[in-house]
């Protein structure tokens, strides 16, 4: 009985068998523990079953003998010997992980390009080497789900962390070319590298290193440093028993030779053990009758044992350590969440969380204490101690009461600034001012009042510091989409603050750009001022340059006093898409000279992948510094076009249409088409119709991208805009279904009109809110699509009663909206095949795995053609190679390839005559090896 229950929870959910000529053919093999691997997967997921079978809860199931796979999954360390893999001919549903066709596999397995990091003085560049997709065995390692975060106890870090496999240094010559390669050496074999950072003078690197233990568990992180000149790496601490605690902040450079490190306390013992008999019931009370509305957060603390585990793993001891290995403890052990040295290196701003904890909100809302310490370990004062914040209203722009956004001013030696709300944190309260910004030196005297920098009527959104004469302050309000930028003079109270920009955040055409920053000698970043011959005060504005023809990024020289601007750089708009990445002439204090201005840009086209260049603005010259190979040359000649069309209510819509290489609609005829999208909310039709993105951007293809099906001959309509508009006092979601269907109809009509998509072979798909969209379209627009792919979605909005996505009304305030938007409530209307995929360990608020479980049961209860694939160990996004490959196999099987069955040649004609009645179409250009059987493919 127990195994029967486990089977139904963790298998691929058996449904009725279909005949060989079925529109959506698949069968299910009977369940049995046929190997130690299969048993291990169930044991890992069922603590109850482990106890009944006498398996310890913390046993290393990876030691079980793996079954031999049909095809080796593990290339270059990517595979997992413990994951059964079925080949394409033997993948009858649930016997193991399956692989998509080779043309898709080759793209997914392409080696990733390195990440780049420039030195503070911009004279060296790091190439941080990365691996391809991780094996499932890494995700299968035990993890603790505590207070909204997931912890790998064996590493004492957040679980499922990616890492670098190596570090290579290149010098950057004066002419913009790269010097010889120098590899960081001295690392242990199999080192996994994280948290790479430069010292302020650029002479050293710091990073963490861990090496897996013999039992395949993750080893704890140690802090290492490397000399940039020699490339020699070594451990930072002299003692081998000091490990990094990276649950929250990990380490930071205080000066050129000293780091502040969050370590695991040496006095910490073994993890607490759960009591067999609880000390009492779990009690939640609201006897004070407080109004507490929270969204559906996951991984919360469940009981006192969870709270003890959270204390155990998250508590750290701060240590100040020099490059020579000498160290000193700073403060008592606590759950430190951030540590920020002052620009003058005299003070430390330390934030920590403490009890009482909550069972209904994540740790970001736990009581928070902020303290000011000297670098030599003396407490200066407590800045604030904020109480538990369970009752933050769900309305957008609501915030925590009390001091927030406490930081150092970037242009001062040691001055703090922060914000305090005047509306109790409730966005529904109408008050003026709504936020006040304060500032105070670290060495201020007891009782000295802070200075008021600015009062805001909207919600504070950040500050860009420059100097005493200039800072830019941002405020915004979601309901109206209004955003303002203020110019203030922090050091001159006589100079009044003034509004620089006042615009709609949705209006991308009016976006003036963002200021560029230079790095100071103290290691902070301030707005870069630019000198030229006249006496104006100029800054650099870097913008995306949205236009009706697509984005044309730019760099403007902007006079902050007059508002005049001069375009000093602009992307090529005919063939290339270029963006400004960073300033390359920012290493000195003071204003930059326009004649010496250098910038780092990226450059790409539809068929050329991104490369990086150093541009000399005055000389108008560019030097290419990278030459990355094309990641998928088999699709190098794909066709890409940004298309425009209209919805029936006149709203302008856009999408990106991709066509396979060498495809000619006039000769080849319409193709199967996959539409992949994600809805968005807007306050105006004009904003909804604006063009976003560029037709010249490189077609980046991730491991779960819809563009993978270009390799299978599909046309892909990527990101068709599906605006849900609520103008004035109207709420967008009150007409969600109507606008969703109208947008989808316009997109489908356009690809059919262009002759690129077969009207009976158009599939719809999406992830998360895109999955919600997919299910709704199959329910309310069944005439548009032949099938749907819904990954990691939420389908019943009554299970997210206190808001979801951009809806901040509760279920009780907008009952009809919640019900009408939920495809779960329309499961009886879904007649087209739908593939549901969900990570079994989804941690995203609202998209619990239960959402797909219940939706599948509702569909099955009405006889729908449906399939649910639950990916073990996966979260909201999918990470393991086995999971991703299997997900792609499932998608390919639904929208293009075969089922499990072949049809004898002699019945082809008979079935062909009844194709419309049987709702399938014969795909006759693919045959089995012996050419005796025709493969059927379902499209409608």
Using pLDDT thresholds of 50, 70 and 90, give the confidence band for residue 524. very high
Q: How far apart are CA 96 and CA 515, in angstroms?
A: 52
Percentage of the chain with pLDDT > 70? 85
Mean pLDDT of 633-638: 94
Residue pLDDT, tens place only, 8-34: 222 222 222 323 333 333 322 222 223
pLDDT of residue 896: 59
Question: Bigger pLDDT: 910 or 552?
Answer: 552
Averaged pLDDT for residues 589-610: 92
Instruction: Write out pLDDT tens, residues 65-116.
Output: 222 232 333 333 333 334 455 544 444 445 699 999 999 999 999 999 999 9
How many Å apart are CA 824 and CA 834, to the nearest integer?
Answer: 13
Distance of CA 112 to the CA centre of its chain: 17
542-567 pLDDT, tens per residue?
Answer: 999 999 999 999 999 999 999 999 99
Share of the chain above pLDDT 90, in %: 77
pLDDT at 85: 53
- Using CB atoms within 10 Å of the CB of residue 581, give its burial: 0 to 12 exposed, 13 to 18 middle, 19+ buried: middle
Q: Which residue has the tokens 């046309």?
A: 715
What confidence tier does 591 reach under pLDDT thresholds 50, 70, 90? confident
pTM of structure = 0.85
pLDDT of 589 above 80: no
Which is more confident, 60 or 706?
706
Mind spelling out the 3-state secondary structure of 674-710? EEECCCEEECCHHHHCCCCCCCCCCCCCCCCCHHHHH
Residue 673 has which token pair?
């088409």
Say what the pLDDT of residue 217 is: 65
* Per-residue pLDDT tens over the stretch 298-345: 999 999 999 999 999 999 999 999 999 899 999 999 999 999 999 999
pLDDT in tens, 397-451: 999 999 999 999 999 999 999 999 999 999 999 999 999 999 999 999 888 999 9
Per-residue pLDDT at 722: 97
Report, as residue numbers or ranges, the catalytic residues: 768, 842, 876
Mean pLDDT of 887-915: 51
- 784 within 8 A of 809, measured Cβ to Cβ: no
Structure tokens at 789: 């792919």
pLDDT of the residue at 774: 98
Least confident of 70-74, 262-266, 633-637: 70-74
Contact 225, 206 (CB under 8 A): yes
The mean pLDDT value for 155-176 works out to 92
**How does DSSP classify residue 425?**
T
pLDDT at 156: 96
Q: Give residue 126's pLDDT.
A: 96
Alpha-carbon distance 362 to 300, whole Å? 6
Residue with the larger pLDDT of the pair 917 and 176: 176
pLDDT bin (cut points 50, 70, 90) of residue 56 is very low
- Distance of alpha carbon 755 from alpha carbon 664, whole angstroms: 10
405: left (phi over 0), alpha (psi -120 to 50) or beta: left
**pLDDT tens for each residue of 374-390:** 999 999 999 999 999 99
Cα 300 to Cα 221, 297, 328, 849: the distances in Å are: 25, 7, 34, 16
Sheet holding 576-583, edge to edge: 576-583, 598-605, 611-616, 621-624
The band of 666, judged by pLDDT with boundaries at 50, 70 and 90, is confident
Question: What's the first-to-final CA gap in the chain, in angstroms?
Answer: 39
pLDDT at 665: 84
Tokens of 18: 């279909």
Per-residue pLDDT, 856: 98
**Mean pLDDT (the chain, rounded):** 86
The bridge status of strand 157-158 relative to strand 149-152 is antiparallel
pLDDT confidence tier of residue 493, bands split at 50, 70 and 90: confident
Q: Rounded distance, CA 248 to CA 158, Å? A: 8
pLDDT band at 228 (very low <50, low <70, confident <90, very high): very high
Greater confidence (348 vs 96) lies with: 348
The candidate with the shortest Cα–Cα distance to 547, out of 526, 581, 521, 573, is 573
């Amino acid at each position: 009985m127990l195994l029967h229950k486990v089977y139904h929870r963790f298998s691929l959910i058996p449904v009725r068998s279909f005949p060989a000529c079925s529109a959506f053919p698949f069968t299910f093999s009977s369940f049995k523990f046929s190997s130690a691997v299969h048993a291990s997967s169930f044991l890992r997921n069922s603590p109850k079953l482990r106890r009944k079978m006498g398996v310890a809860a913390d046993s290393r199931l990876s030691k079980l003998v793996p079954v031999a796979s049909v095809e080796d999954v593990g290339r270059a360390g990517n595979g997992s010997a413990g994951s059964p893999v079925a080949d394409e001919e033997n993948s009858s549903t649930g016997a193991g992980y399956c692989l998509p066709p080779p043309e898709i596999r080759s793209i997914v397995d392409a080696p990733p390009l390195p990440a780049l990091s420039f030195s503070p003085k911009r004279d060296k560049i790091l190439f941080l080497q990365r691996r391809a997709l991780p094996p499932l065995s890494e995700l299968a390692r035990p993890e603790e789900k505590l207070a909204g975060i997931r912890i790998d106890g064996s590493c004492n870090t957040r679980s499922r962390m990616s890492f670098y496999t190596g570090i290579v240094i290149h010098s950057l010559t004066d002419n913009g070319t790269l010097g010889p390669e120098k590899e960081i050496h001295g690392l242990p074999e199999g080192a996994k590298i994280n948290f790479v950072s430069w010292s302020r003078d650029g002479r050293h690197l710091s990073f963490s290193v861990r090496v897996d233990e013999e039992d395949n568990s993750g080893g704890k992180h140690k802090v290492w440093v490397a000399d940039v000149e020699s490339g020699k790496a070594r451990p930072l601490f002299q003692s081998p028993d000091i490990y990094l605690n990276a649950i929250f902040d990990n380490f930071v450079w205080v000066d050129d030779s000293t780091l502040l490190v969050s370590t695991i306390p040496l006095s910490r013992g073994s993890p607490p053990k759960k009591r067999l008999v609880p000390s009492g019931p779990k009690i939640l009370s609201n006897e004070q009758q407080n109004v507490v509305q929270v969204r559906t957060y996951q991984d919360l603390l469940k009981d006192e044992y969870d709270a003890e585990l959270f204390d155990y793993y998250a508590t750290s001891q701060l240590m100040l350590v020099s490059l020579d290995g000498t160290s000193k403890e700073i403060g008592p052990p606590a759950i430190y969440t951030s540590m920020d040295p002052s620009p003058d290196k005299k003070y430390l701003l330390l934030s920590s969380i403490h009890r009482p904890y909550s069972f209904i909100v994540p740790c970001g809302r736990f009581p928070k204490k902020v303290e000011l310490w000297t670098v030599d370990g003396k407490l200066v004062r407590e800045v604030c101690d904020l109480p538990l914040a369970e009752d933050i209203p769900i309305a957008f722009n609501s915030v925590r009461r009390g001091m927030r956004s406490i930081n150092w001013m970037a242009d001062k030696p040691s001055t703090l600034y922060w914000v305090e709300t005047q509306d109790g944190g409730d966005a529904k309260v109408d008050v003026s001012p709504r936020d006040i910004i304060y500032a105070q030196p670290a060495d201020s005297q007891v009782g000295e009042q802070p200075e008021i920098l600015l009062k805001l009527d909207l919600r504070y959104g950040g500050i860009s510091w420059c100097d005493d004469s200039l800072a830019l302050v941002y405020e915004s309000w979601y309901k109206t989409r209004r955003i303002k930028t203020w110019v203030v003079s922090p050091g001159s109270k006589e100079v009044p603050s003034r509004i620089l920009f006042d615009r709609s955040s949705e209006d991308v055409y009016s976006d003036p750009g963002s200021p560029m920053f230079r790095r100071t000698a103290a290691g902070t970043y301030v707005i870069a001022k630019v000198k030229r011959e006249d006496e104006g005060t100029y800054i650099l504005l870097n913008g995306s340059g949205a236009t009706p023809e697509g984005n044309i990024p730019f760099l403007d020289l902007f006079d902050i006093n007059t508002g005049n601007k001069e375009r000093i750089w602009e992307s090529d708009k005919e063939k290339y898409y270029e963006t400004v990445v960073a300033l390359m002439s920012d290493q000195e204090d003071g204003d930059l000279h326009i004649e010496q201005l250098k910038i780092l840009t990226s450059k790409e086209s539809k068929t050329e992948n991104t490369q990086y260049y150093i541009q000399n603005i005055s000389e108008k010259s560019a030097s290419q510094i990278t030459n990355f190979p094309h990641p998928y040359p088999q699709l190098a000649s794909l066709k890409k076009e940004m298309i425009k069309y209209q919805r029936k209510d006149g709203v302008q819509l856009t999408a990106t249409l991709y066509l396979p290489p060498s495809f000619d609609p006039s000769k080849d005829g319409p193709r199967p088409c996959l539409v992949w999208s994600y809805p968005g909310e807007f306050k105006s039709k004009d904003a909804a119709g604006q063009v976003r993105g560029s037709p010249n951007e490189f077609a980046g293809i991730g491991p779960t991208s819809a563009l993978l099906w270009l390799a299978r001959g599909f046309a892909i309509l990527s990101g068709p805009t599906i605006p849900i508009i609520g103008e004035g006092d109207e709420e967008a979601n009150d007409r969600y279904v109507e606008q969703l269907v109208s947008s989808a109809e316009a997109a489908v009509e356009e690809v059919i009109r262009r002759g690129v998509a077969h009207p009976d072979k158009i599939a719809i798909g999406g992830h998360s809110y895109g999955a919600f969209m997919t299910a709704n379209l199959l329910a309310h627009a069944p005439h548009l699509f032949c099938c749907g792919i819904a990954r990691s979605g939420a389908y019943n909005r009554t299970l997210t009663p206190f808001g979801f996505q951009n809806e901040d009304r509760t279920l009780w305030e907008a009952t009809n909206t919640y019900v009408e938007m939920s495809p779960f409530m329309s499961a009886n209307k879904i007649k087209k095949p739908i593939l549901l995929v969900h990570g079994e360990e989804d941690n995203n608020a609202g998209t619990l795995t239960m959402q797909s479980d219940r939706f599948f049961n509702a569909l099955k209860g009405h006889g729908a053609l449906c399939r649910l694939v639950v990916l073990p160990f996966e979260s909201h996004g999918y990470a393991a190679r086995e999971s991703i490959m299997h997900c792609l196999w499932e998608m390919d099987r639904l929208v293009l390839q075969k089922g499990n069955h072949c049809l004898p040649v002699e019945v082809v004609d008979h079935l062909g005559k009844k194709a419309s009645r049987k709702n399938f179409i014969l795909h006759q250009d693919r045959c089995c090896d012996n050419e005796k059987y025709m493969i059927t493919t379902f499209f409608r």
